[in-house]
Amino acid sequence: MAIAAMLLAAIAFSNGTTISIPFLATFDGFRGTSTSPSVTISGSWIAAAVVAVILTLPLSVVAFRTNRETAE
């Protein structure tokens, strides 16, 4: 998840575009003629935590089941 966030920030920074993930984060890139490129990242830590739990829960279940089968 962190790698995807860094990739989206890099795209917004280099292209000067705005990338929005609903309820999670907004990567707002800016490229002015007289200034250097910049990016502003705003988001919700609670939504990021919920997404992280939802994504790791199936992997944890598979790991616990595999561990029990090899122990028997």
Please give the pLDDT value at position 20: 92
DSSP state of 1: -
Q: Which helix H or strand E contains 26, and what residues bound it?
A: strand 25-30
Provide the percentage of residues in the chain whose pLDDT is more than 70.
92
pLDDT in tens, 56-70: 999 888 888 886 666
60 residue type, one letter:
S
pTM: 0.64
Of 50, 3, 43, nearest to 27 (Cα)? 43
